[in-house]
Structure 1
Amino acid sequence: MPHLSFAFRRHLTLTLVSLAALLGGCAMQVPAPALSGPAITIYAAGDIADCRWRLPSLSGAAATAALLTPLLAADPEARVLALGDLTYPVGLPAEFTDCYAPTWGRFRERTLPVPGNHEYYTPLAPGYYGYFGAAAAPERSGHYAVQLGSWRVIAINSAISGPAAEAQLEWLRAELSEHRSRCTLAFWHHPRFSSGGHGDNARLAPIWTLLAEAGADLALSGHDHDYERLAPQDSAGRRDDAHGLRQFVVGTGGAQLTPFLFTSANSERRDNSTHGVLRLALRDDGYEWEFLGVAGNFQDKGAARCHARSAAK
């Protein structure tokens, strides 16, 4: 009997393992929520124009710009979010005029930008602020906010530190308290959480905490040259599907793609095989997302509802 018992247990174990493998290979589809209101479309990516080794017309930025051109022509109200590191290597004015302008520069009047670390490799980022002018924020602070339909869209400068970063944090606290839209999106360059080569960035924790505790819905960033979608997370980085802040990393605007380092705890979808952009449809009570690649078979799309905002602490 002990032998039969062992055999039975072994048979049961193998059966369960096979069943688990079968279920794992057939991902369950979660029904998308029915969202209301017309869509405001946003196309987002960072890490864009690098012409050090090739002409602008042959660059990765040219490929993503070609992807965007007909989409923006078909929707005059759509906007572009440029998620930092817009030129390489050091953000000189000539890099913007000679490399960015021939590609993503055709969308400049429809672009909401933020700077990255490469813009600041030239002190004070004169190329970035000179190129985008008033759209890059008053007094060259790099942070600002706009209203797009029912959405509050907040641009944050993640490339600063010291007193400038402290002043920005106070501005963000006031912004979240004074403008309590149903849905909130924030975007900056350095991701708070990432499976890419740069990994998590603890320096962004105060910004993440303010946004998460205020009930913001979406955070977009670049820096790692890949695409990643993470599950909603609370102020401490714990998964919270009901109230958390969802982050996308979209460093696929044209610069050379880079490997993943490890898998972040709440990572849901990742790819570093193709350049592309994230398309967001911002509706009255939620959002739809879809990654649009210039090549390859990678796909990622879905939808989620916004959650009620609370006052920032």
Structure 2
Amino acid sequence: MPHFFSRFACLPAGVFFCCATLVAPDLAIAAKPKPAKAQKSLTIYAAGDIADCRKLPPEESMAAKTAAIINAGLQQDSKAMVLTLGDNTYPVGRPEEFNNCYDATWGKFKSSTLPSPGNHDYGMPQALGYYNYFDELAGPDRRGYYSKTAGNWLILSLNSNRNELPMQEQLNWLREQLATSKRACILAYWHHPVYSSGGHGNNDIMQAAWEMLAAARADIVLTSHDHNYERMAPINGSGERDDKAGIRSFVVGTGGARLTPLFFAKPTTEVRNNTTHGVLKLKLHANSYDWEFLAVDGNSFSDKGHGECH
């Protein structure tokens, strides 16, 4: 009677050990499936309230120091992206502010930048300095909002300077983006924070957008406007802490403009600082993310952590 062994081994001095697997004589052993290729993480650097050269030349400005952090990161990873969170220049977003101050600092990585506009950018009619400078990088039709995808992430750049019908058009667009996206993780960013303990406090202009994002179980929202750094605990659509399904939000108004006072911390405030310029670094993985605040040289403040996508 035939028997079939896949392999055997003979050991020394009368010891015999046989590793046997019974198989049909004509059946090939199936190869083990190869594991799916892991998604490469995407690095993002983000800050708002950036270029102000009214008192110092560009190379001596704080925007040059925050730009140096990003330049160093891009030298290590040329595929990293940069998000601006509005108020790209001061005081009113004139073309010369972009061409002479922003371009000499954060403009060094313009091609890697996904911008969003702030109220100071709209100091010029129709934010012409902002849209003329960033052109197609600012999204289509000078409306100030657009989306990108990266791996398992949907990235949404929104415009918190719209109101009435233009805002409703943006909300309709956002609803469609969220309904049709196949990505499991969502990051959105704009200028005015819905929740903040900074000098400007809460802003309800983007409350409807926040509620849509919360309903879609978005993961991260980045804003600026208040010139400080603040990280909130995850918050749901009603503004309440929700560690399981809420949105983790950051105010990163530390890109270069003068820092400003803080008010009393919110119940959802976890970390805040208004003495340190810097940028937020995010590592977006397939189903999770890491964050780290990177301070300019000479400052020791830091904040880092990890989160999972919903």
User: TM-score, normalised on structure 2?
Assistant: 0.86
Q: Which residue does the alignment assign to 1:286?
A: 288
Q: Which residue does the alignment assign to 1:129?
A: 131
1:214-244 deviation line (CA, Å, top 9, x unaligned): 1100000010000010011100110001100
Q: How many Å apart are 1:38 and its aligned residue?
A: 2.8
Q: Which residue does the alignment assign to 1:39?
A: 41
Question: Residues of 1 paired with 2:75 and 2:96: CA distance?
Answer: 27
Q: Which residue does the alignment assign to 2:12?
A: none
1:160-195 deviation line (CA, Å, top 9, x unaligned): 112111100110011100113110000000111001
Q: Which residue does the alignment assign to 1:104?
A: 106
Determine what percentage of the aligned residue pairs are the same residue: 51
Q: Which residue does the alignment assign to 2:303?
A: 300
Q: How many Å apart are 1:61 and its aligned residue?
A: 0.3
Q: Which residue does the alignment assign to 2:158?
A: 156
Q: Which residue does the alignment assign to 1:197?
A: 199
Give ranges in structure 1 of 5+ residues lacking alignment: 1-35, 308-313
Corresponding letter in the other structure for 1:131: Y
Question: Residues of 2 paired with 1:148 and 1:92: CA distance?
Answer: 32
Q: Which runs of 4+ in 1 moved over 4 A?
A: none
Q: How many Å apart are 1:153 and its aligned residue?
A: 0.2
1:104-148 deviation line (CA, Å, top 9, x unaligned): 000100000000000111110000000001110110010000001
Corresponding letter in the other structure for 1:250: V
Q: Which residue does the alignment assign to 1:269?
A: 271
1:250-307 deviation line (CA, Å, top 9, x unaligned): 0000000111012112010001111100000000011000000013221110001000
Larger relative contact order (Cα-Cα within 8 Å, sequence gap ≥ 6) = 1
Question: Residues of 2 paired with 1:188 and 1:203: CA distance?
Answer: 11
Question: Residues of 1 paired with 2:263 and 2:124: CA distance?
Answer: 28
**Alignment match of 1:219 (pick from 210, 218, 221):** 221
Q: Higher helix proportion, which one? A: 1
Aligned residues: 272
Q: 2:39 touches 2:151 (CA, 8 Å); kept in 1?
A: no
SS of alignment partner, residue 126 of structure 2: coil
Q: Determine which structure has more spread, i.e. the larger CA radius of gyration.
A: 2
Q: Which residue does the alignment assign to 1:55?
A: 57
SS of alignment partner, residue 125 of structure 1: helix
Question: Residues of 2 paired with 1:261 and 1:255: CA distance?
Answer: 19
Question: Residues of 2 paired with 1:297 and 1:243: CA distance?
Answer: 32
Q: Which residue does the alignment assign to 1:255?
A: 257
User: TM-score, normalised on structure 1?
Assistant: 0.86
**Alignment match of 2:169 (pick from 167, 170, 177):** 167
Cα RMSD after superposing both structures: 0.9
Question: Residues of 1 paired with 2:71 and 2:140: CA distance?
Answer: 29
1:183-218 deviation line (CA, Å, top 9, x unaligned): 000000011100100001122110100000111000
2:90 is equivalent to residue 88 of structure 1: yes
Question: Residues of 2 paired with 1:107 and 1:225: CA distance?
Answer: 22
